[in-house]
């Protein structure tokens, strides 16, 4: 009896891809679909009727896996609120309900069980991290052919379906803006390197410095966790660097850290936009409420959520899966803190 593995080998794809093509689950490139179907026909492969029935069973739910962070009001944060709104719009368009699943930091990442229990037909993972537990869980989804999409996180070597923005370009533009304004000693408050977006921002920061003939100094890179609190906590170290003349501008990897840093620096008698230039990232609602108004990089989080859902739910004939590929553009918004 011919196995799915043999079909995958002949077609030059994974077993998971063979499963998705033959069970008509999730978006597949037309050329890939044809290659798999031709290989199956050539080998005389007949998929199990029971397996097909199970694969096509429909719960009507699109699962969204979210990180559970104690004492953080997740839905009040701009990042998650925008992405979830975009997901919700697309899910409604295709007749799906959205099922939210919260993952505790130390909890299980057994995402496959959600499919096995037929609770969801596809899932979007927010806050995925480049850690062994996450990579194992995602690899299992891929192996079993369950449709899923990552938002704002990429595992380039695995080729998982993902929707992301061009954070390298956004970071580059933010730092170039500071350099063009006369800054030469630019500190960078980044997030953890378990997120691909943190690494993208770091590469953009370094490239902007290099293109301007400025040396990268690791001592000017500080680590936060994308929370306002971590921005406040970084203020003492940044204030010392400013007073010693080692820093004349700061780029923060998101607005929450930038706003926390502004508040913390104010305690040290240092005002953003006057004593030091500051650029944030996200263009959250808070960036225009604070005083002075925060220069920042606008990221289309709503569209990222919408695209992720469309890539999973849109019928293949619509051609939306391929149309939505590629990194979404970001753009710099100049305000008072970098003038």
Residue range 242-262: average pLDDT? Answer: 97
Percent of the chain with pLDDT strictly greater than 70:
88
Closest C-alpha to 223, from 254, 179, 247, 248: 254
Measured between alpha carbons, how far is 88 from 331 in angstroms, rounded to an integer? 25
> Residue 52: pLDDT above 80?
no
- 3-state SS class at 256: helix
- Give start and end residues of each alpha helix (H) in 149-254: 167-180, 196-211, 228-243
Measured between alpha carbons, how far is 239 from 90 in angstroms, rounded to an integer? 45
DSSP conformational letter for 215 = P
> Residue 323: pLDDT above 60?
no
The label of the residue with tokens 């009507």 reads 60
Whether the CB-CB separation of 216 and 153 falls below 8 Å is answered with: no
> Residue 129: pLDDT above 70?
yes
pLDDT of res. 335: 97
pLDDT of res. 167: 98
In this prediction, residue 329 has a pLDDT band, given cuts at 50, 70 and 90, of: very high
Non-local (6+) Cβ contacts of 240 within 8 A are: none
Mean pLDDT of the chain: 89
Q: Is 286 left (phi over 0), alpha (psi -120 to 50) or beta?
A: alpha
Measured between alpha carbons, how far is 144 from 47 in angstroms, rounded to an integer? 15
pLDDT of res. 104: 75
In this prediction, residue 15 has a pLDDT band, given cuts at 50, 70 and 90, of: confident
pLDDT of res. 27: 67
More confident: 149 or 49: 149
Measured between alpha carbons, how far is 129 from 191 in angstroms, rounded to an integer? 12
Report helix angle 49-56 to 15-23, nearest 10. Answer: 80
In the structure, how many helices (H) and strands (E) does the chain have?
Answer: 14, 11
> Residue 49: pLDDT above 60?
no
In this prediction, residue 231 has a pLDDT band, given cuts at 50, 70 and 90, of: very high
Measured between alpha carbons, how far is 15 from 12 in angstroms, rounded to an integer? 10
Q: Tell me the per-residue pLDDT of 132-181, one tens digit each, with 9 for 90 and over.
A: 999 999 999 988 889 999 999 998 777 889 999 999 999 999 999 999 99
| Per-domain boundaries in the chain | 4-56, 61-164+301-326, 167-298
Same fold, 61-164+301-326 and 167-298: yes
DSSP string, 267-298: HTT--BTTTBEEE-SB--THHHHSSSPPBEEE
In this prediction, residue 53 has a pLDDT band, given cuts at 50, 70 and 90, of: very low
Q: Is 123 exposed, middle or buried (0-12, 13-18, 19+ CB in 10 A)?
A: buried
- 3-state SS class at 77: coil
pLDDT of res. 172: 98
pLDDT of res. 25: 64
The label of the residue with tokens 């004593």 reads 275
pLDDT of res. 317: 45
Q: Tell me the per-residue pLDDT of 87-105, one tens digit each, with 9 for 90 and over.
A: 999 999 988 999 999 887 6
Which class is 61-164+301-326 in CATH? alpha beta
The partner residues of 97 in beta bridges, in order of sequence, read 61
Measured between alpha carbons, how far is 194 from 159 in angstroms, rounded to an integer? 17
Measured between alpha carbons, how far is 287 from 161 in angstroms, rounded to an integer? 31
Q: Tokens standing for 85?
A: 């709104």
- 3-state SS class at 249: strand
Percent of the chain with pLDDT strictly greater than 90:
63
pLDDT of res. 77: 83
Backbone angles phi and psi of 230, in degrees to 5:
-70, -25
Name the least confident of 24-33, 142-151, 229-238, 272-281.
24-33
- In this structure, are strands 122-126 and 186-190 parallel, antiparallel, or unpaired? unpaired
Residue range 184-205: average pLDDT? Answer: 97
pTM assigned to the model = 0.81
Superfamily of 167-298 according to CATH = Response regulator (3.40.50.2300)
pLDDT of res. 185: 98
Q: Does domain 4-56 sit in CATH 1.10.260.40?
A: yes
Q: Tell me the per-residue pLDDT of 234-249, one tens digit each, with 9 for 90 and over.
A: 999 999 999 999 999 9
């Amino acid at each position: 009896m011919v196995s799915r593995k043999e079909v995958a080998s002949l077609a030059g794809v994974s077993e998971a891809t063979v499963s998705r093509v033959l069970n008509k689950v999730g978006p597949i490139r037309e050329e890939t679909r044809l290659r798999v179907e031709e290989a199956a026909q050539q080998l005389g492969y007949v998929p199990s009727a029971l397996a097909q029935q199970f694969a096509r069973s429909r719960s009507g739910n699109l699962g969204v896996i979210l990180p559970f962070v104690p004492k953080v009001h997740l839905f009040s944060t701009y990042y998650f609120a925008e992405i979830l709104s975009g997901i919700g719009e697309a899910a409604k368009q295709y007749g799906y309900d959205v099922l939210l699943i919260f993952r505790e930091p130390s909890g299980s990442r057994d995402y496959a069980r959600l499919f096995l229990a037929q609770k969801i037909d596809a899932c979007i993972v927010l806050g995925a991290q480049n850690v062994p537990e996450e990579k194992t869980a995602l690899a299992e989804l891929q192996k079993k052919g369950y449709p899923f999409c990552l938002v704002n996180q990429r595992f380039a070597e695995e080729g998982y379906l993902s929707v992301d923005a061009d954070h390298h370009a956004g970071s580059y533009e933010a730092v170039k803006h500071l350099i063009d304004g006369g800054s030469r000693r630019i500190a960078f408050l980044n997030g953890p390197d378990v997120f691909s977006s943190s690494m993208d921002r770091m590469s953009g920061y370094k490239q902007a410095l290099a293109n301007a003939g400025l040396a990268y100094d690791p001592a000017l890179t500080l680590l936060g966790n994308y929370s306002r609190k971590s921005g406040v906590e970084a203020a003492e170290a940044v204030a010392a660097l400013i007073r010693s003349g080692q820093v004349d501008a700061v780029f923060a990897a998101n607005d929450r850290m930038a706003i926390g840093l502004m508040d913390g620096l104010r305690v040290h008698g240092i005002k953003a936009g006057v004593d030091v230039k500051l650029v944030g990232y996200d263009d959250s609602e808070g960036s225009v409420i604070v005083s002075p108004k925060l220069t920042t990089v606008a990221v289309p989080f709503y569209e990222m959520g919408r695209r992720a859902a469309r890539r999973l739910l849109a019928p293949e004939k619509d051609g939306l899966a391929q149309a939505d590929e590629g990194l979404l553009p970001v753009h710099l918004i100049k305000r008072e803190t970098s003038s």
